[in-house]
Each structure stands twice: as C-alpha cells, then as structure tokens.
Amino acid sequence: MLRRRLTRLFGGDERRVDSRTIYVGHRPCPATEAFIPPKFCDNRIVSSKYTVWNFLPKNLFEQFRRIANFYFLIIFLVQVIVDTPTSPVTSGLPLFFVITVTAIKQGYEDWLRHKADNEVNKYLVTVLEDGLRTRKESEKIKVGDVVEVVEDETFPCDLILLQSSREDDTCFVTTASLDGESNHKTHYTVPDTVKDLDSLNATIECEQPQPDLYKFVGRMHIYRNDHEPAVRSLGPENLLLKGATLKNTEKIYCVAVYTGMETKMALNYQGKSQKRSAVEKSINAFLLVYLCILVSKALVCTTLKYVWQSKPGQDEPWYNEKTQRERDSNLYLKMFTDFLSFMVLFNFIIPVSMYVTVEMQKFLGSFFITWDKDFYDPEIQEGALVNTSDLNEELGQVEYVFTDKTGTLTQNNMEFIECCIDGFQYKYRDAGTELDGFCVTDGPVSKLQQKAGREKEELFLRALCLCHTVQVKEPTGQLREQVDGLGLGLGRGRGLGLGLGLGLGLDGEGLPQEEQTGFIASSPDEVALVKGAMKYGFTFLGLESKNMKILNRNNDVEVYELLHVLNFDPVRRRMSVIVRSKSGDTLLFCKGADSSIFPRVRQEEVERIRMHVERNATEGYRTLCVAYKQLSEDEYAQADAGLREARLALQDREERLLTIYNQVETGMSLIGATAVEDRLQEEAAHTMEALQGAGMKVWVLTGDKMETAKSTCYACRLFQRGTELLELTVRTLEEGGRKREERLHELLLEYHRKAVQDAPPVKAGGVTSWSTANQDYGFIIDGATLSMVLNSSPDSNSSLYKSLFLQICQNCTSVLCCRMAPLQKAQIVKMVKNSKGSPITLSIGDGANDVSMILEAHVGIGIKGKEGRQAVRNSDYAVPKLKHLKKLLLAHGHLYYVRIAHLVQYFFYKNLCFILPQFLYQFFCGYSQQPLYDAAYLTMYNICFTSMPILAYSLLEQHICMEILLDNATLYRGIAKNGMLRWGPFLYWTLLGIYQGLLFFFGVRYLFSNPALQDNGQVFGNWSYGTIVFSILVFTVTLKLALDTRHWTWINHFVIWGSLAFYVFFSFFWGGIIWPFLKQQRLYFVFANMLSSVSAWLVIILLIMLSLLPDILLVVFRKPRGPRAPQLSEEPVLQRSRWPQSHRCPTST
C-alpha cells in the first residue's frame, strides 16, 4: 500500500488539485461542527529493504530472478528428484555458497540502513501538548503537532514556521544534508500569528506531498473570536525541511505538515534507476552461448546412447540385466530422464561462482578509487566517493562526455571585474595607481575620459546593493566594533574612487580573514556583485525587519523598505525587488540575463550597453544587465494586489505569479551591466585535451550565454583556432529573413553536407570511429533551436531533423549547447545514448540543474563544488575537481575494464576446460553418465581450487603502469567499444579451452594405452584417470593466469602458489582418510598411488607444458613494443590483455 502511494506521488501528477487540511495543535476550529481528525502517515523513516520476517523469502526471490541462480536451482532439484550420475551436493553446495555470500552482503547493507533509520526515528524532540512541553521520539510526531526546535537541532519533519525568538520574525537554516549548501538561508514566520501558541486557532490548507524541494503552495486560516478568519499565504520561505538545521536562532516553534515517508527529503531519495554495465550484458550473451553448448552436448550424448543401445546385446548385456520395472518404463520418459542426467553431468560449464567473484571484484575494487591519494583535495579535505560499484568497468568504455560549464569547467568562484554604466566602462583598479577609477567607453574615442554622471552611477550601485537575496553574517564582540569603526577611516574624495578605501578595508586589512566573505547567498554571483558595489563605495549593511540598509559613499546610511521580492527562476532568467525609499518613491530594480532584460527596456538604451555585454561575453565573463523602474501609486497598488492574490492561490500559483512578474517588469530603464569572472578549473584544458586524445567526444551543456561558453571552450582547448564552427542558434535562423523552420532545414542540410557527406570516410578496421578529418568542426546550438529540432511541429519531419542533427554532432570534435534548461540536458544525453551503436555516455556536473543529465547517462559523475551536493548525491561517482576525471577514466577505468573482461573470459575458459574431458569420456563409457571426476573435485573446483587467483588478478593487475596510461591517452582507444568482450576474443578463449580440454583427455588416454603404470604391474582405474586429468587441469588454468599476470604482488604469489598447494594437500587429505559419512570412497589413496608412478609425473608435466605452449610462443615471438608505441591502439583485439613485458611499470622512462 505504501509503495502504491509513493508511486502515485512519484507519478509527478502536478495537476492533481486535492489538498490536505491540517489543524494546528489538533484544535478544532469554531467553524467546524464535527471535528474529525484527518489521518496521515506517522513520522517513521524507512529506507531499509527487508524486515526480520520477510528477509529470507524476499531475498531468495530476488536472487533466483537471476538466470544463473535459477538455472542451478533447477539442476539441483533435478539431481534430487531424478537418479543422476552426480550427487546433489555438487551443484547444491556451490549454489548455497553463492546465495549465502550474496544474502550476507545484502543483509549487512540493510542492517546498516536499519541502524541509520533508528537513529533518526528514536531522536528525542520537544512537542507542545495542551500547553506542556513533552519529549517524544521523532517517529511519534503527527501532522498538526506544534514542535519546538532549538539552535543546531535538525528538523524532524517538514514544518511551517509559526514563531521565532528573533525580533524580525525570521530564522536561519542550513540545508547541507539536503543540497550540501552550508550557507544560511532565511525563513519567515507566518504573519499575524498570536504570540501565545496555546490560544492559536488555525488551519493550514496545502498541497499534497511532492518531491520538489523548492516548491510549496499553501495558505493558513487564522481564526479569532467574532472576526472573519485571516488568510495568509504560505510558500517555500515558510517551510522548514526535514534534515535541515537551525542556525543563529535561539528557538523556534513550528507545526508539522508532512511527516515520515511523505517529507520532501524522503520523496527525493526514491526511485533512482538501476544502471547496468555493458559487461553484464556481454556475460548474459556468453551465458546463452554456453547454455546452447550444454544442451547440444546433452542432446548428442542422449542420441548416441540410444543409437549404441539399439545394437544387439548392447542394451541389456548379460552382466547387467534390467529389472521388470525398467523394462516396463516408458521409452520417451527414460530418454527425457537421460537427457536431464546429461544436463546435470555437464552443468558445470555454466560458471555460477563467476557472479559472486564479479560482485566481490566490483565491491572491493571500488575501494581503490576512494583510497587514491591523488583524488584527495586539501581544500575541502575530502577525496573521491563511490556511490555505486556496479559501473567500475564502464569508466573504461566512455565514448561521450557531457559536461556542465559553471562549477565544472570553471571554478564557480566569482570575482567582480568591471561594470558598464550608461555605456561607459568602469574597471576597478588598485587604489595606488588609479584612485579615481579608470573609465573607458565602447563608443567614440572623444568620449574616452567622460563619465556616466554621478546620479546614474549612484542609481546603478544602489541597484547592486538592493536587488539580491544576500544576507549579512552577524558579527560578534570585537568584530562588531571593527565594522562600526569602518566609517571613520573612509575617504572624502569624489567620484567612484571614494569607494576604494572602503573596498580595501573590507577586503584587505580592515577585517580578519574569516570575515572577508561575510555574506550569505544562494548564488556566488550575488555575493560578487554586492562586493563589487563595496569596491565603488556602496556597502550593503543588511536586512532588518523588512528594511534594507545601505552605507553610501558619503558615509550616510540609506534605508529602503523591502516591499516584494520577485524571485529568480530559470524561465524568466531575471529577478527583481520592489522597495520604497524614505522620500516615499516606489522603485523596482531588476537584474538578469541580457536576453531577458533587453526586450523589456527602451531600445535606444540597449545599443549603448549591448557592445559592452558582447565584448565581455567574448572574453569569457558572466554578464548581467541591470534595469530600474519608478512605480506610480496606482501601478504599485495593482501589482501589490495581484501578487498577494496570486500568493494565496493553491492552484497554478507559479503561473499566476509569473504573469504578474511579467506585467510589472515592463517599460524599465536600462542602467548598465556587470562583468563577473568565473576562472577555469585547475588543469581544465589539460584534462579536456587528454579526454579528446583518448577518443572521447566532449559536449558542453550549459545555461550560459553563447559568447561566454564559446570563449570557455577555446580556453579549454575544446575548440582550436583552426576549428570551423557550425552555428545553429536563433541568430543564425533569423539571418535569412525567412521562416525559422525553413532556415533550420536549410542549415541542417548545409552542415550535414560539410561535416558528414564531404568528410573523408573512416579507415576500415579501426577500433574507433574517430578520424583526423573530423577535427576541423565544432558545433554550437542554443536551447531555443534545440527545442525546434527535438520538438518539431507535426507537419515537419522531426525524425529527419533529429537524424541530421545527431549525424552532424557525431562528426564534430566538440559540441557546445548553450542556454540549456536542465530537462534539455537530459534530452541530449538520452538522444546520444539511444543512437546507433548505443555509445557509453558520461555526464559530469556540480549543481542541482545537472542532476537530470547525471541520472540519464550511463555513468554520472558529481563534482564536490560550490553549488550544493545534489549532483554528488545523485551521481555514481564523485570527485573534488574536474582534473581528477582524467585519472578516473584513463587509469582506473582502463584497468577496471581490462581486469573484469579478463575475469569473465577466464571463467568461461576454465569451465570449458573442466567439462570437455567429461563430455569426451562419455564416448568411452557407453554413454552411461559415468562421471570422470570425484564429487569433491566437482564441488571444490570453482569454489576453492581456482577462485582466489582470478579474484586477486581482477583486483591487482596492472598490465600497463598507471603513469604510462596517463601519459598516453591513446591507449584508452585500444579497449573502446567493449573491445575485450567481443565475439572475437570470446572465440579465441573458447578455442583455447577446447584445445586444452582435448589435450588433457587424449594425452592421458595415450598414457593409459598401457595401464600398468606402477612398478608392481598394478593397473590404474577410471578414478586414477580422472584424477590425473583433473590435476593437469588445475595446474594448467592456474599457471595460465600466472603467465597473464604482469603486475606481481605478494598477494598474487600467495593465492596462485597457495591454491596449487591447497589442491595437493586436499587431495592427499581427502584420499588418505576413511570418512565415515561417505557410502563409497572412490579416491581412497588414489592420489598418492598416482604420484608413485614416474609415467604419471612425466605426462602431467608434459601436458601442462603443451597446454601452455601457445601462450609461451605468443610471449616469445610477439614483436616487443615500448610503452609509448603509437601502434599499440592498432593491436589486434585477439591479443587481449597479455601485454609484453616492455609495458610493465618501468623504473625509469
């Protein structure tokens, strides 16, 4: 039932109109005749998957949904029911081992989840009940309870703020556990609530729970005696989310609105889709092939058995007469039973233990990423993070990298560079060289030394100080005195230079280091602009009781009443404030992207600013335009009424507010623009160059302006100076003067001809599809044009557009998508992911707007940046800096893929070697289903004798040294497109297994042509035959792995030689004691007897050498190549991971 409810909530049915009514403090309202308390879920958080009662059935059901596990269960049941040649223990014990290990791992992980849940659910909180403060466990909170929260406490559920200990009725909150932002966010109490909460009679009407952290719609009805109920709107600014922490506020009182699994935090932790790696798909394909081989063997043996028995005297020889029951049994039923018996006999060709080994390899291998010291960042004191270990090998198969720009390619560390006021450029310079500021213009040279005028300058700086949501951290003690003393030392000069003294005081010696960034904001852009205004003499002092205070350059404090904040949103791409000055003027200040401001101001003003904005964007700066408007009393009254009405709406609140915002933000005057620099990430260009050298296509998906993003692409060397840029933007669509649809079609065909049709064909036989000819083109598209390509009108050929667009992009070196909405980023990734060949995609980003593309890509990487931790939480892997991506892919990814590919191929190979002699043996035992090996060997082969060496190899092998992999990005191309798990290498391993299996069987048979192999003339029997074959088998497959090992550690030595020693010890031990629980002891002293024969020794050593001869010859005669050999990428895939010794980690290069 809970799952159905969550699924319904998750369906994202935004149009549902049903709401919930909450009675504050569970007190019935006067208007309510019959008070029936509504039922809501309790406050228990359940992130665990199992309970004590359902663990066994649920876990077993999930494990047997796996094909291999289910197959072995069927085989086990057949062995139990049907009279089969091998004991049920032979398949039952490995299956039990696999199921048990997996169940223990999953059970332990779930126990940790239970433990975490209990910590949250048993946490004690204070609840007001009938005027008394009582302590309750968090899980017992109900919707409607009034909860007390003190400073540094975490909110136990989603709450509406009723009362605060602060005088301005606000509280500060950090949401680090939700989105990673450590900044203090301001939340507001509901206006007009009574101070005595015991007498508060109110109901809250709000939307049903939904997962959007930043959206909340509701209203509160406050009932007073003999008065109409007061209605107050509720929004995200009143909602305190579970998991957030109270800061800088002594105490608050709130009412619970969403509890338990209905809180926004709980809803956001659901439904992360399971990603499957390409290796897992290859395993399933190989498994089907081996299943076909198994069925074929069983069919061949069953058919030949009845052909052989049809000859006279063969069906019922004199020494083995049938019983009457056997004579009367149905022939077809007996044939089916024999078929099942052969299936059981050969079933070990399917490697069930491989799944456990792969799971362990992935789980243990992921620790190497978290332990890598190169990924540790001393600035944030964190290293890499692995959220899922299932995709380690995908890191070595990436073909497309989709990256965000801000915070990923750049540092998201904003620095105010310059501004433009009324067409004049103001560049802040050091106070010692240019005290009066330096002013140039983008206009005529004669105007070079002119300025915009004091009035315009001050209006612009006031806009920067007022149009934001920045909060000032409250200084304490000595620090407050320093801040108060700042005014005494301010310069008395004129013009913009006045602010320089203050700017230096605040950013230089005036304050201690920790208070230099004494601002709290949701975006670093806003802090940069407020600091920029400080440099020019206008200081924002903070917000007190809806009054914003500014210290101007005359040291006078200006106070403005904050009337309304028109919040920023990605659709409008701007934000505004409405304030009232002391003189009574009502002003609207607006800042935003040029594309959203220019259409809303007078066009003659635009021309003076546009050139400045475009030049700054070309230089790679982030630009914002600033505008203002003086509102008349009527205009403000109309806007105020509209905003209040829209904020009270429960349905379509967002749309109504957007309409009012657009009505108010028209007819503005453009004052100027700002330029803020976002520096490139450390080694960003070097990293991008390495990824392109490895054959990956890099696409930049950003919401920024095209010019800014383009200059970043040049700086990162994604675009070279010789790159021809193919631009498909709104600007290019409007150039022809025709309909956009026609122009789009024409440009797509033109670019397709250039980049695809006229490009030289890719050389045949190349491992990848990259060609040197494709280096010449870069592609640029914006969000609006992308919408036309992806969502074309029904009468146009949208599939043709998509196809042309994709082909053009795939033939370009790099692609830049600018002005992108988060959903469009995901659409791009999905389009490439589902294109021909299903290329492996990787998305990397640092902000909440990157989550959609991170979840959509095969591999999602989060950067532990400054835009919160939502990207990190939703990613598969997280690294502190972009530069770490190079080692993660080129070194770790490469090695993970080679290791697991070798593991998979080796498992199928060693099981084929194991079962082929068993199959051949049937031709010499009358198809009687006589096993060649003892039951103990059948059981222990995959579990003990051969499992540890391959596990150690798959964790520790470095066929090429990490330093060489990092220096030679082209080595990455050699394993691209799942190169080591294609049908070619699979066929090689299969043929090798067949060759060795034939050699084992017929080599020993040749030895047995004279079975009197002992000094006393005693002959060897069939169990000696099988034991010799098995001994050669164990030694050959283990030594084969030793030959393939390039990176030897003490662990490799221990497990390889230890496994062989254990086999010898076990064989002596198993055959040297009479075991009371065995009905028949087939191997009693067989192994010791076998080793007493010199001939047996000779054949074992000779056959091991002959089996390994192909590998030895390959190593000896293969042309040696150095670690930096360019032809390495052309190495035939059949040579797999057996690299020459020259590729080992050198002591010096």
Residue 203: closest CA among 2, 406, 38, 374: 38
- Three-state SS at 64: coil
> What is the dihedral sign for C-alpha 519, 522, 528, 533?
negative
Residue 733: closest CA among 714, 750, 720: 750
Residue 843: closest CA among 863, 831, 827, 861: 861
Per the CB < 8 A criterion, the answer to whether 593 and 610 are in contact is no
Residue 409: closest CA among 179, 679, 677: 679
Q: What are phi and psi of 18, to 5 degrees?
A: -70, 140
Amino acid in the structure at residue 102: T
CA 424-429-431 angle, to 5 degrees, is 125
Catalytic residue among 338, 372, 404, 1044: 404
**H helix or E strand, kind and range, residue 569:** strand 557-569
Q: How far apart are CA 73 and CA 91, in angstroms?
A: 8
Residue with tokens 């009687």: 928
Locate the DSSP E strands across 789-907. Answer: 814-818, 841-845, 859-863, 877-879
Start-to-end CA distance of the chain, whole Å, equals 65
Per the CB < 8 A criterion, the answer to whether 898 and 959 are in contact is yes
Q: How far apart are CA 785 and CA 73, in angstroms?
A: 55
From residue 619, alpha-carbon distances to 616, 726, 732 in Å are 5, 20, 21
Q: Calculate Rg over the CA atoms of the chain.
A: 37
Give Cα 313 distance to the centre of its chain.
Answer: 69
Per the CB < 8 A criterion, the answer to whether 1041 and 949 are in contact is yes
Per the CB < 8 A criterion, the answer to whether 472 and 248 are in contact is no
- Three-state SS at 15: coil
From residue 1059, alpha-carbon distances to 132, 549, 611, 721, 1037 in Å are 70, 77, 75, 59, 11
Locate the DSSP E strands across 192-229. Answer: 202-207, 218-222
DSSP line for 1032-1064: HHHHHHHHHHHHH--S--HHHHHHHHHHHHHHH
Per the CB < 8 A criterion, the answer to whether 341 and 79 are in contact is no
Q: How far apart are CA 138 and CA 246, in angstroms?
A: 16
Q: What are phi and psi of 1137, to 5 degrees?
A: -100, 10
Helices of type H across 1073-1129: 1086-1090, 1094-1117
Residue 67: closest CA among 345, 393, 355, 292: 355
**H helix or E strand, kind and range, residue 1142:** none
Q: Which two tokens stand for residue 337?
A: 């039973």
795 is catalytic: no
DSSP line for 147-158: EEEETTPBPSSE
Q: Which two tokens stand for residue 269?
A: 């932790």
From residue 515, alpha-carbon distances to 506, 522, 534, 865 in Å are 9, 18, 15, 21
Give Cα 328 distance to the centre of its chain.
Answer: 64
Nearest 10 degrees: Cα torsion 780, 785, 787, 789:
-80
Nearest 10 degrees: Cα torsion 294, 298, 300, 304:
160
Q: Give the other-Cβ count within 10 Å of 1098's Cβ.
A: 11
Residues tagged active-site: 404
